[in-house]
A and B are shown apart, each in its own frame.
Chain A
Amino acid sequence: MMMETLFYIAAFVALFATLQALSRSNAIHALIYLIVSLLAVATMFFLMGAPFAAALEIVIYAGAIMVLFVFVIMMLNLGESGDLRERQWLQPKIWIVPAILASILLLELIAVEREFDGLTSGREVPPKEVGLALFGPYVLAVEIASLLLLAGLVGAYHLGRRFMDRNRGGRG
């Protein structure tokens, strides 16, 4: 019963944070909410007995992809000068709600580790099984995924390099 409650709390956090993220006007504020939403989804993965999926969700989605967004927003350098903007970003009313939501998720994780050993799923799927399936029947999919990543790398390099060259040429 308790596990279900934890799951529904995480689901509510995910939905709320997503709606907030897509209704902000400032891209950085939206990113904060989007990261909270991804953390909530990762918590749900963990509660459903998929710890490897939860780790991947945090490392790749909330780590790598969101950092890409942050880099691009910083490179565009929109709006007024840096100091004023950073002071506006760090106002408590901006980060207090995402911080509360993230603390709720942290408390859920602590509660799971401390008091309940059963997960919401009857059977946890361990990373070993995922790896065995990944490099057994799904090995062709892994190759295709690596090819897709290579294509993404080449495309991003092509688009970004032209941007950097023109930018430097315009200034110098």
Chain B
Amino acid sequence: MGGLQIPLEHVLVLATLLFTAGLIGLMVRRNIIFILMSLEVMLNAAALVFVAAGAHWGQADGQIMLMLILTVAAAEVSVGLGLVLQIQRRFHSLDMDNANRLRG
């Protein structure tokens, strides 16, 4: 038989909780490194839903979407950490509120 033996809804609830934790972290934390970590958590929750859906229907497409999400996460985090270095050099702090004006 195909399909997950655990209900798909439970995986969806777990992914929603992980995504919400990441979203709250993104909005509450002001340290830019923690903001990047929250973004990783949110991307990871999305990937969990893709893989669970792929396992539910017994198809490989879910894992392919996971690989694309990994690519996006890697590109995003490399540019983001480059920005962290620039912000640290320019403002001597990692507080995002220092960088909320377009003209530094």
Contact = CB atoms under 8 A, between A and B. Distances in A.
Q: Do A and B come from one complex?
A: yes
Interface of A: 3-4, 7-8, 11, 14-15, 18-19, 21-22, 27, 30-31, 34, 37-38, 41, 44-45, 48-50, 52-53, 56-57, 60-61, 64-65, 68-69, 72-73, 75-76, 78, 120-123, 125, 129-130, 132-134, 138, 141, 145, 148-149, 151-153, 155-156, 158-160, 162-163, 166-167
A45 B51 contact: yes
Contacts of A4: 5-6
A43 to B, nearest CB: 12
Contacts of A18: 18, 21-22, 41
Contacts of A76: 84-85, 88, 94
A78 B84 CA distance: 13
Interface of B is mostly: helix
Contacts of B14: 11, 14-15
Contact of B40 (A34, A44, A78, A121): A34
A50 B63 contact: yes
Interface in B14-52: 14, 17-18, 21-22, 24-25, 29, 31, 33-34, 36-38, 40-41, 44, 47-48, 51-52
Given A69-B33, A148-B75, A14 B6 contact: no
Contacts, number: 181
B18 A56 contact: no
B72 A15 contact: no
Nearest to A154: B79
Contact of A153 (B63, B67, B78): B78
**Closest 8 interchain pairs by CB?**
A159-B82, A152-B75, A22-B25, A156-B78, A48-B55, A145-B71, A163-B85, A123-B58
